[in-house]
C-alpha cells in the first residue's frame, strides 16, 4: 500500500485527494520506486485543471527521487537498492511508492541528495534542452543576449545560472522586484519586473536597439505579443509553457513582418523519448550541478498532505526556485 494523490475530476486545488493505493510488482520495462522526495511543477497544475486533460481518476506528479525497490523483466540499467531520480510521464509521482517505466529513470549520483534530485530533474532537463538544443538558426555564442521569462521560477533560476556558465547574457523577467534581485543573484545579466515595466522597451535599450536572438517563453498568453517585438531578424521564439494561459492562434504573416522570425513549441517529452537521450541530458545536468555552476534552490517544502496549499501557492506566483513535497 502507498499514499498517493489523485483527482477524480479536473478543477481547483481542492480536487487533490490523498488516497491509499495498492502498488504491485513491476511489469516488463518497469521499476518500483520508493520516493524520498517529489518535485512540484507547473505541469501538475495543467494536469489538475484539465488544460492538459487526463483520464479519471488520475494520479498527479511528474518528478521524484528515491530508492529502487524492484525491477521488472528487461530492465538492465537499474537494480533494487539503487538511488534514482526521474522526470517523465505517466503522471503519478505524488506518492510514497509507485511503478514507473524504467526508460526515463536515471541513477542519481551519490553526491546529489534526494530532495535536490526530486527538485531538479524536470526543471533542469528543460533548461538543458532549451539552452543547448533550442537555438536560433545562427546558434548562440558567448556574449549573446537571450530573453528568459519567469526567471525566478523553478526552470528560471536554473536557466539563469546555466546561461551564465555558457557565457550568455540572460535578460530575465519576473513578477516582483524581489524576484528580479533573485534572478540577478543567480546569474541573470539584467532583470525586468514585467508587472511594472515595458519589457520589450527595456530589451531594446539593453541590446542597443538590436533585440535578442532567442526568447524562451513559458508564460504564454500574457507575454507572447511583446516577446515577438524583442527578437532581432531571424530570431527564435521558443514557447514552452502557459503559466498565464495558452497562446492564442496567430497569423504566420506577422512573423514575416517582424523580421522573418522562427517559432517553435518545445516539450521535454520529445527530448527524453529514448533511454540514451534521457541519460545523456541527465549526465549533462548532473555534471553542471556537481561542478557547482548550477545550484538547485529548494525555496519551498510542503508535506505531501499539504499538496493543496502547494498548488495554491504555485498558481498564485508566491513561489520562487524549486518546490518539493516531502514524505515522512
Ligand X SMILES: NC(=O)c1ccc[n+]([C@@H]2O[C@H](COP(=O)([O-])OP(=O)(O)OC[C@H]3O[C@@H](n4cnc5c(N)ncnc54)[C@H](OP(=O)(O)O)[C@@H]3O)[C@@H](O)[C@H]2O)c1
- Name the site residues for ligand X (rule: CB under 6 A): 41-43, 122-123, 126, 150, 152-156, 174-175, 179, 218-219, 222, 240-244, 266-268, 314-315, 317, 319
In the complex with ligand X, the residue whose CB is nearer, 188 or 219, is 219
Whole-angstrom distance, CA of residue 164 vs CA of residue 199: 20
The least CB distance from residue 22 to ligand X, in Å, is 30
CB neighbour list of residue 141: distance below 8 Å, 6 or more residues apart: 167
CB 60 within 8 A of CB 66: no
The least CB distance from residue 259 to ligand X, in Å, is 25
Between the CA of residue 125 and those of 62, 212, 257, 258, 280, what are the distances in Å? 13, 23, 34, 31, 10
In the complex with ligand X, the residue whose CB is nearer, 66 or 156, is 156
CA dihedral angle for residue 158, residue 159, residue 163, residue 166, rounded to 10 degrees:
60
In the complex with ligand X, the residue whose CB is nearer, 34 or 271, is 271
Backbone angles phi, psi at 152, to 5 degrees: -100, 5
The least CB distance from residue 114 to ligand X, in Å, is 19
The least CB distance from residue 210 to ligand X, in Å, is 25
CB neighbour list of residue 247: distance below 8 Å, 6 or more residues apart: 220, 221, 224, 239
In the complex with ligand X, the residue whose CB is nearer, 112 or 121, is 121
Residue 265, helix vs strand vs coil: strand
The least CB distance from residue 165 to ligand X, in Å, is 19
For residue 95, the 8-state DSSP code is: B
The least CB distance from residue 279 to ligand X, in Å, is 18
The reply to whether omega before 90 is within 30° of 0 (cis) is yes
1 is written with which cell numbers?
500500500
In the complex with ligand X, the residue whose CB is nearer, 159 or 168, is 159
Closest residue by beta carbon to ligand X: 153
Which neighbouring-strand residues pair with 303? Answer: 326
In the complex with ligand X, the residue whose CB is nearer, 78 or 243, is 243
In the complex with ligand X, the residue whose CB is nearer, 114 or 216, is 216
The least CB distance from residue 310 to ligand X, in Å, is 11
Between the CA of residue 252 and those of 62, 200, 233, 261, 263, what are the distances in Å? 33, 20, 15, 9, 9
CB 32 within 8 A of CB 25: yes
The least CB distance from residue 301 to ligand X, in Å, is 14
In the complex with ligand X, the residue whose CB is nearer, 26 or 42, is 42
Amino acid at each position: 500500500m502507498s499514499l498517493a494523490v489523485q483527482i477524480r475530476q479536473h478543477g481547483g486545488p481542492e480536487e487533490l485527494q490523498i488516497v491509499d493505493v495498492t502498488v504491485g510488482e513491476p511489469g516488463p520495462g518497469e521499476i518500483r520506486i520508493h520516493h524520498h522526495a517529489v518535485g512540484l511543477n507547473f505541469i501538475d497544475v495543467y494536469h489538475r485543471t484539465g488544460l492538459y486533460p487526463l483520464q479519471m481518476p488520475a494520479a498527479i506528479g511528474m518528478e521524484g527521487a528515491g530508492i529502487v525497490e524492484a525491477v521488472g523483466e528487461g530492465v538492465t540499467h537499474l537494480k533494487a537498492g539503487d538511488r534514482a531520480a526521474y522526470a517523465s510521464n505517466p503522471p503519478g509521482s505524488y506518492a510514497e511508492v509507485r511503478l514507473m517505466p524504467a526508460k526515463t529513470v536515471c541513477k542519481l549520483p551519490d553526491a546529489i541528495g534526494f530532495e535536490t534530485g526530486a527538485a531538479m530533474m524536470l526543471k533542469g532537463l528543460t533548461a538543458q534542452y532549451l539552452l543547448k538544443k533550442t537555438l536560433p538558426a545562427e546558434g548562440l555564442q558567448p556574449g549573446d543576449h537571450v530573453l528568459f521569462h519567469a526567471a525566478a521560477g523553478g526552470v528560471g533560476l536554473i536557466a539563469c545560472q546555466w546561461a551564465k556558465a555558457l557565457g550568455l547574457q540572460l535578460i530575465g523577467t519576473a513578477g516582483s522586484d524581489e524576484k528580479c534581485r533573485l534572478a540577478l543573484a543567480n546569474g541573470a545579466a539584467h532583470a525586468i519586473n514585467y508587472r511594472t515595466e515595458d519589457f520589450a522597451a527595456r530589451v531594446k535599450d539593453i541590446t542597443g536597439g538590436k533585440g535578442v536572438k532567442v526568447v524562451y517563453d513559458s508564460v504564454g498568453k500574457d507575454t507572447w505579443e511583446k516577446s515577438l517585438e524583442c527578437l532581432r531578424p531571424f530570431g527564435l521564439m521558443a514557447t514552452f509553457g502557459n503559466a498565464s494561459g495558452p497562446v492564442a492562434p496567430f497569423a504566420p504573416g506577422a512573423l514575416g513582418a517582424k523580421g522573418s522570425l522562427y517559432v517553435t513549441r518545445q516539450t521535454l517529452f520529445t527530448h527524453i523519448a529514448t533511454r540514451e537521450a534521457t541519460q545523456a541530458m541527465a549526465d549533462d545536468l548532473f555534471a553542471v550541478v556537481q561542478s557547482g555552476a548550477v545550484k538547485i534552490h529548494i525555496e519551498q517544502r510542503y508535506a505531501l498532505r499539504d499538496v493543496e496549499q502547494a498548488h495554491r501557492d504555485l498558481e498564485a506566483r508566491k513561489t520562487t526556485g524549486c518546490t518539493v513535497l516531502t514524505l515522512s
